[in-house]
Structure 1
Amino acid sequence: MNRWKALAVLGTAQFLMVLDASVMNVSISQLVEDFDTEVTAIQAVITLYTLVMAAFMLTGGKIGDMFGRRRVFIVGLAVYAVGSGLTAVAPTVWVLALGWSVIEGLGAALVLPALAALVAGSYSGRDRAVAYGVVGGLAGAGIAVGPLLGGWVTTYLTWRLVFAGEVVLVVLILVFIRWIPRQPPPTHRISLDTAGVVLSAAGLALVVLAVLQSGTWGWVQPRNPPFTVLGFAPTLFVVALGGTLLYLFCLHERRTEARGREPLVSLDHFGNRVLRSGLATLFNQNTVLLGLFFVIPLYLQVVQGLNAFETGLRLLPVSVTMLVASMCGTLMLRIASPRTIVRGGLLVLLAATLWLIGAIGPDLHGASFAGSMALLGLGMGMLASQLGNTVQSSVQEEDRSEAGGLQYTAQNLGSSLGTALIGAILIGSLAGAVTTRINDDPRISDAVAGQSAVRIEAGLSFVPADDVATALAGRPEIPPQEAAALVESYQSAQITGLKAAVLACSGITAVSFLFTGGIPAGRPERVVRVRRPGTGPPDR
């Protein structure tokens, strides 16, 4: 059992890194009340956290190479604890943003790439597959348990205790840090590519920011943006600017490496088919997972009226089956290859999303919903049991921090884009369905339908039907019978929007099969590690 001590520490850190994000998602209403602010302000805080992690994950991986992964892991945890402590006592929303979004985000950007490399450096062969399965399962458990824990603490105590508890958990991890074996020092001097840091951080930040704000700004026609470009919404222009900066980053990295200097990330890695497949599948997995974890709480809380704790209970089957499936990764490898397991996981995930579409309705069918959640966790767990090991096993020892940075960059980009894209699809489908139902309902006059169209065009929110009824009750120009018909149309459109959003997740899952061709078709002992060109024959 001694060999698993390091995994206990690293797995706990992984659980910690994903816990508070899911806690924040179910605590938004309480945060709005505590800080006397608006929902948009809290959403901006959550967005900034994702932006900081996505923008600096590659930099965190390179710093781990420069100063040692174990040391950077420790420093990152300390930074994360400072941010958690500041968040726990934050008197204003700006201090909350500083503590959670900025300081914790930077700490996570140091911890996660180092964590991925430390797992790979501490284990090999089937033990490494087990380790990554456990780490992936604990990440999923953190995402799923977060709403349950956060909902209970927020409902009965205070959300601040979660962040105070994180400080205690970091201290415990640091107490047992000696269980993680020391890593060999770098074999050559490594410098930080500052220009690469600026270009990659700015490019990733702009792309993520634009997609996250697309629901507010609009994609082409402006909805409620801070500015317009030639009369159009700024979203695509900001995406294009971010893409241009990322293209300049690639040119800079090629030039830096050609001059014999140390790049932020070697673009030769993307010539590694195994690594490409692993990263693409990770990206798609997190796009679907976080998209669903945006849609499902809306269904449970807004449509069904459950509180934060009850919502967490409904999500518990995901956590249980995902953790079990992740930890059974090595057992599955006895009968199937990583590629087969990943494709099987995608099939299970596709079945789960299709089942969920059928389970979503005006009334909550508990057994059917729980079954779809359990199947969802099973599919996600099968993916998690293989993908981390696939990414790390595809590179050499000295490249594992870079691979870890790429791994968590792909995951965070998938998480950000999943929430934004699925959210935009949800709102777009809601608006389209409401418009269609209002126009087709003979109980609603043309005048009221015209007023509704103007309101929908200005921007529609996913809110409880009771809030819509209350708002219409304050409009004396709308007769009560027409107001009731509008509420019915909105309720029906909510279900349509939710089903369309989940169907989009099904589509992404189906497309993911196209990216699995490079995942190893052999057992871990027979997986070939691909070296950079010119560095000698591959290890077997």
Structure 2
Amino acid sequence: MTSTLSLPTAAGRRILFPLALAQFICSFAGSSMNVMINDMSKDLDTSAQGIQVAITVFLLVMAALMIPGGKLTNRYGRKRCLMVGLAVYGVGAVLSAAAPGLGVLILGNSILEGIGTALLIPPVYILTTLLFTGTTTRARAFGAIMALGGVGAAAGPLIGGLLTSAISWRANFGFQALVIVLILVMTRKLKDPLPADPSQPFDTVGAVLSAVGLVLVVTGILAADNNLWLMLALLVAGAAVIAGFFAWLRHCERSGREPLLPLAVFRNRVANLGLVTQNVQWLMLMGASFTVGAYLQVVRGYSAIATGGVFTAATAGLLASSLAAERLAKRHAQRTLIVTGFAVTVAGIALLLALVRAFDSIWAFTPGLLLIGLGIGAMLTPSVNIVQSGFPDSQQGEISGLSRSISNLGSSLGTAVAGTILVSELTSNGYAAAMIALAAFGLAGLAAALLLPRHTG
């Protein structure tokens, strides 16, 4: 029988803190480089586009491998996957800190840290689901993890800017390595509530098809500013591979084989809408982070510390709404929180567009970033609860991998879409076009949230 924990207990906190810290550092890694674009591009003899590619590939590797990573937890055990993922991530962070050029940075940060994240994040959510049972207890646990994840993404530019200005951009990766060591120490006595099943088959074909399809789609977006025909070819190829992936899943189920993902997870309408909201939330957050960070440094010439300081508003907003998540959940339905969150976030993007064009001061970014932080923080936890709680324990490996994959795909799409638009024309016009694109995605997320049932928990 699976043991359970109540969040307020000392034992519960000792288990939850390193799990939440793991989500924090992975989210931090995805946004902290946004304020180091000038420093890194000069030191590594590359361009802003080169750094954008490194950031996007990191997020893409996470998204492409998260579903297989979730599946592997059943075969090899949740704790083992967590520890291996942490170790691979740590090696990638050390390699990135010592990178002499863009190629080594991509190997360490984009590839190894991306693989490590894909291995360690699904166990974080599966262990939380298994160890913290009951609606209230589990909601608090997910709230803590999502709050630290959101704060990591929002505070990444601030902490990254401080480290870059005080020491070097390389200290950013040293900081990540130190946090990984701390998590490894804190989780060494963690007990896996379910035994590993080495005999469980692994759908290699499905894993390859899902990864290749996602890579082709995001690579197609990155190619938009270089070759329109190449972009279209990659997007069509990606769509074809993803269609092949679903055909393969159907073939596996009909032939009695275990697929990478059971098609049943896609038949839950409420969970599917929740996945869409997760994707768009991270798309807006990471897209806005890259756009503002790149614009301030490359166009306006601000330093890493000045750029990072601007993001204090987003961090404060996200932290405030995340800390209020439990109280808000008691008073309002999850659908209400998600709808409100999207409305506030889109309003924040509109302010980033309007105020920045009207005023030349760096403080013109503050109100918009504050609203984005407040909006994202209000809806992160409800979206995860809707998806995660819609499936039994036996499918937590699959849905956790899918949920994190969809979220990280949103992060990579946000950086790819907004970054490609901005980098193609590093002017105020490029900034405006990127913000308009992010607002359009936000309205699509709001439409999905409005389709959720009024009472989803």
TM-score (norm 2): 0.91
CA displacement at 1:174 relative to structure 2 = 1.5
CA displacement at 1:310 relative to structure 2 = 0.6
Q: Indicate yes or no: 2:146 matched with 1:136.
A: yes
Q: Indicate yes or no: 2:53 matched with 1:44.
A: yes
CA displacement at 1:366 relative to structure 2 = 5.6
CA displacement at 1:332 relative to structure 2 = 0.8
SS of the equivalent of 1:164 reads helix
CA displacement at 1:344 relative to structure 2 = 1.2
1:75-90 matches, within 5 Å, as 75-90=84-99
Between the aligned partners of 2:368 and 2:105, the Cα distance in structure 1 is 36
1:113-262 matches, within 5 Å, as 113-124=122-133, 125-178=135-188, 180-185=190-195, 189-218=199-228, 233-262=229-258
Name the amino acid aligned to 2:200. I
For the aligned residue pairs, the C-alpha RMSD in angstroms reads 2.2
Give yes or no for contact 1:63–1:192 (8 Å, CA) kept in 2: yes
Between the aligned partners of 1:250 and 1:378, the Cα distance in structure 2 is 37
1:241-390 matches, within 5 Å, as 241-361=237-357, 363-365=359-361, 368-390=364-386
1:84-123 matches, within 5 Å, as 84-123=93-132
Between the aligned partners of 1:92 and 1:505, the Cα distance in structure 2 is 31
Identity of aligned residues (%): 36
Name the amino acid aligned to 1:252. W
Name the amino acid aligned to 1:509. G
Give yes or no for contact 1:304–1:363 (8 Å, CA) kept in 2: no
Q: Indicate yes or no: 2:422 matched with 1:498.
A: no
Between the aligned partners of 2:436 and 2:299, the Cα distance in structure 1 is 18
Between the aligned partners of 1:5 and 1:261, the Cα distance in structure 2 is 39
2:27 to 15, 18, 39: 18
Does the C-alpha gap of structure 1 residues 196 and 523 become closer, same or farther in structure 2, counting only changes over 3 Å?
Answer: closer
Q: Indicate yes or no: 2:445 matched with 1:512.
A: yes
CA displacement at 1:168 relative to structure 2 = 1.9
CA displacement at 1:141 relative to structure 2 = 1.5
CA displacement at 1:520 relative to structure 2 = 5.5
Between the aligned partners of 1:210 and 1:309, the Cα distance in structure 2 is 33
TM-score (norm 1): 0.78
Which has the higher mean CA deviation after the structures are superposed, 373-382 or 115-124?
Answer: 115-124
CA displacement at 1:165 relative to structure 2 = 2.4
CA displacement at 1:313 relative to structure 2 = 0.7
1:448-527 matches, within 5 Å, as 461-462=425-426, 494-517=427-450, 519=452, 521-522=454-455, 524=457
Which has the higher mean CA deviation after the structures are superposed, 50-59 or 248-257?
Answer: 50-59
Give yes or no for contact 2:78–2:127 (8 Å, CA) kept in 1: yes
Larger RCO (CA within 8 A; separation ≥ 6): 2
Mind listing any 5+ residue stretches in structure 1 that lack a counterpart?
219-232, 428-459, 463-493, 525-540
CA displacement at 1:496 relative to structure 2 = 4.0
Decide which structure has the larger Cα Rg and report it.
1
Q: Indicate yes or no: 2:69 matched with 1:60.
A: yes
CA displacement at 1:188 relative to structure 2 = 9.0
Name the amino acid aligned to 2:145. V
Does the C-alpha gap of structure 1 residues 176 and 139 become closer, same or farther in structure 2, counting only changes over 3 Å?
Answer: same
Name the amino acid aligned to 2:449. T
Residue 433 of structure 1 is matched in structure 2 by none
Q: Which has the higher helix share?
A: 2
CA displacement at 1:109 relative to structure 2 = 0.8
1:80-116 Cα offsets, whole Å, 9 max, x none, are 1111122222334332222212111111111112212
Which has the higher mean CA deviation after the structures are superposed, 68-77 or 300-309?
Answer: 300-309
Between the aligned partners of 2:45 and 2:421, the Cα distance in structure 1 is 30
CA displacement at 1:192 relative to structure 2 = 0.8
Between the aligned partners of 1:299 and 1:39, the Cα distance in structure 2 is 10
Does the C-alpha gap of structure 1 residues 419 and 47 become closer, same or farther in structure 2, counting only changes over 3 Å?
Answer: closer
Residue 470 of structure 1 is matched in structure 2 by none
CA displacement at 1:405 relative to structure 2 = 1.2
CA displacement at 1:303 relative to structure 2 = 4.2
